[in-house]
Amino acid sequence: MSPTASVVVSSQANQAFRHPESKQSIRVSELISALSYALDITEGRPMGHSVRSCLLGMRIAGQLGLPVEAKADLYYTLLMKDAGCSSNSSRLYHILNADDIRAKGDVKTTDWTKVGWESLHYAITHVATEMPFAERVWRLIQVAATQQRDSCELVKIRCERGSSIARKLGFSESVAEGIHSLDEHWNGEGYPSGLKNKEIPLASNLANLAQTLEVFWAARGPEAAIEAAETRSGRWFDPQLVHAAKSLAKEGQLWIRLDSQELITEVMSQEPAEGRLTADDATIDNICLAFADIIDAKTPFTFQHSNGVADAAVLIGKAFGMPQGEVNKLRRAALLHDIGKLGVSNAILEKPGKLTAEEFAEVRKHPYFTYEILRRIPAFADFSTDAAAHHEKLNGKGYWRGISGDEISQPARILAVADVFDALSAKRPYRDALPLEKVFSIMREEAPQALDWPCLAALMEAKPF
């Protein structure tokens, strides 16, 4: 990406986010940085990984003296770099026959391009880990035989999906390209296109360096992070970028405030003022829709689930005569209610048999993650508790808090009914959609012990098909 090209592209793009800034304006950086916590848990990283990578990348960009337009595009490339992450989780699980989140998390500290003990150890500790020895060995041989093709396929799915989400949201072509080429390597041995040297967009190579620095910083400390960058300089990264990172580290400027409790405020202050993006109501809805797609892409079983829950919840809300503002809020809560599921391994979500107690305990955490992600966004904070209460039951036997009766708000009751309704009525890869009468008869049995009867009655009355 040449700085000139970026100027041209940026002046025409990111238009979806350009609104006059006022005291009430919602900054896109605030929304995306908080939602990036969901991308972090999908990738097996601690929450805050994307935001910290963004801080590191922007500091290196400052050291390089990049023009402001390039910095604005880089900023959103860094925050959205993992937008496609959920789309290959299922495929990765089926290739490895093991925990995709653990595999994704650990691959970041593995130099998998070098054949040797490091990549062999990774394979041994991440492939078919729960299978009997003989099956495991056979699986390892299969994985080794198709490793290059599979890695390319996984990166391709992820980068195409990520860049398409960026385009759909209205980010510039530079942001989309930056995300698309994140896994290209300086020596031409990366994926998906084998781009080399300056063929790789600067934002991609910088984002790759920044994420590597963050991962090693978090796992092994600053010295190990610089060592990892140096070892991969000229192979993975443009040596000039590594040099700039090293200079900053030497001056004591690279790592500052990475452990701040106010990470989102910190990263918002790094958005170039000239390219600052704000969101109106329609844009916020668009961002919710994009993240609903990211959530639903995690497994083939949840195809369009978040949208289905949103449609049903809106029907109930309208039947209750809720004001339009409340209905809009309910819809956003429904679109994002399962965002915490991104932190649950596909080995559990797609397990064909019954879950063990430990596995079910993992599933029960997902509404808590939903709360943790949404509560950080001031515009979403007031519905974060309701969104996270979609598995609570009136009899107190739900999760994650086990609240009951009047402790469960009306929006939360609506979401619970909409969630069960969509789960039962949607078509699944292993079965057809249940007929409406069957869905409602199952739900009628559950209410009044678990589900709210007036919500269910309103949904049945609204005839959702």
> Which of 102-110, 230-238, 332-340, 397-405 is the region at the interface with Fe ion (rule: CB under 5 A)?
332-340
Residue 365 designated active-site: no
Q: Which stretch binds Fe ion (CB under 5 A): 36-44, 167-175, 267-275, 333-341?
A: 333-341
Q: Tell me which residue has tokens 């031409």.
A: 188
Tell me the torsion sign for CA atoms 350, 351, 355, 360. negative
What single string gives the DSSP state of each residue in 273-304? GGG--EE-HHHHHHHHHHHHHHHHTT-GGGTT
Task: Return phi, psi of residue 455, to 5°.
Answer: -65, -45
What minimum distance in Å lies between the beta carbon of 208 and Fe ion? 33
Q: Which phi and psi (to 5°) does residue 27 adopt?
A: -80, 135
Is 225 or 339 the residue whose CB approaches Fe ion more closely?
A: 339
- Taking the complex as a whole, the smallest distance from the CB of residue 115 to Fe ion amounts, in Å, to 41
CA angle, 198 then 204 then 209, to 5°: 100
Smallest distance from Fe ion to CB 309, Å:
6
Positions in 90-119 near Fe ion (CB under 5 A)? none
Residues numbered 402 to 431 that lie near Fe ion (CB under 5 A) are 419
Choose the binding region for Fe ion from 78-86, 162-170, 330-338, 400-408 (rule: CB under 5 A): 330-338
Is-contact 66 244, C-beta < 8 A?
Answer: no
Which residue, 138 or 360, is less far from Fe ion as judged by CB? 360
Nearer to Fe ion, 386 or 419 (CB): 419
- SS3 for 51? helix
Chain-centroid distance, C-alpha 187: 29
State the Cα–Cα distance between residues 213 and 217, nearest whole angstrom: 6
Catalytically annotated residue among 104, 108, 298, 341: 341
* Comparison of 139 and 393: residue with beta carbon closer to Fe ion: 393
Query: What long-range pairs does 189-197 form, CB within 8 A, spacing at least 24?
Result: 189/113, 189/235, 190/155, 190/236, 191/151, 191/152, 191/155, 191/156, 191/159, 192/152, 192/155, 192/156, 192/159, 192/160, 197/238
Question: Which element (helix H / strand E) includes 26?
Answer: strand 26-27
CA proximity to 20, closest of 279, 201, 319: 279
- C-beta of 392: minimal distance to Fe ion in Å? 11
Q: Which is nearer to Fe ion, 162 or 398 (CB)?
A: 398
CB of 385 to Fe ion, least distance (A): 15
Q: How far is the CB of 419 from Fe ion (least distance, A)?
A: 4
Stretch that binds Fe ion, among 200-208, 235-243, 334-342, 348-356 (CB under 5 A): 334-342
Tell me the C-alpha to C-alpha distance, in Å, between residue 17 and each of 166, 278, 438.
Answer: 12, 5, 44
Q: Which residues does 321 contact at the CB level (< 8 Å), separation at least 6?
A: none
Residue closer to Fe ion by CB (options 372, 419) is 419
CB of 44 to Fe ion, least distance (A): 20
Q: Which is nearer to Fe ion, 230 or 359 (CB)?
A: 359
Please pick, from the candidates 177, 238, 266, 338, the single residue that binds Fe ion as defined by CB under 5 A. 338
Distance of CA 229 to the CA centre of its chain: 25
Q: Does 214 bind Fe ion (CB under 5 A)?
A: no
Closest distance between Fe ion and the C-beta of residue 300, in Å? 15
Is 78:135 a contact under the CB 8 Å cutoff? no
How far apart are the C-alpha atoms of 171 and 162, rounded to whole Å? 12
Question: With contact defined as beta carbons under 8 Å apart, do 301 and 89 qualify?
Answer: no
Selected range binding Fe ion among 99-107, 335-343, 397-405, 454-462, rule: CB under 5 A: 335-343
Q: Which is nearer to Fe ion, 319 or 423 (CB)?
A: 423
Residue 360 C-beta: closest distance to Fe ion, Å: 13
User: Which C-beta is closer to Fe ion: that of 40 or that of 338?
Assistant: 338
Interatomic CA distance for residues 89 and 43, integer angstroms? 9
Instruction: Report the alpha-carbon distance of residue 35 to residue 127 in Å, rounded.
Output: 30
Number of CB atoms found within 10 A of residue 205's CB? 26
Size of the site for Fe ion (CB under 5 A): 2
Distances (CA, A) of 429 to 301, 345, 369, 386, 464: 6, 19, 27, 29, 22
Catalytic residues: 341
Residues that bind Fe ion (CB under 5 A): 338, 419
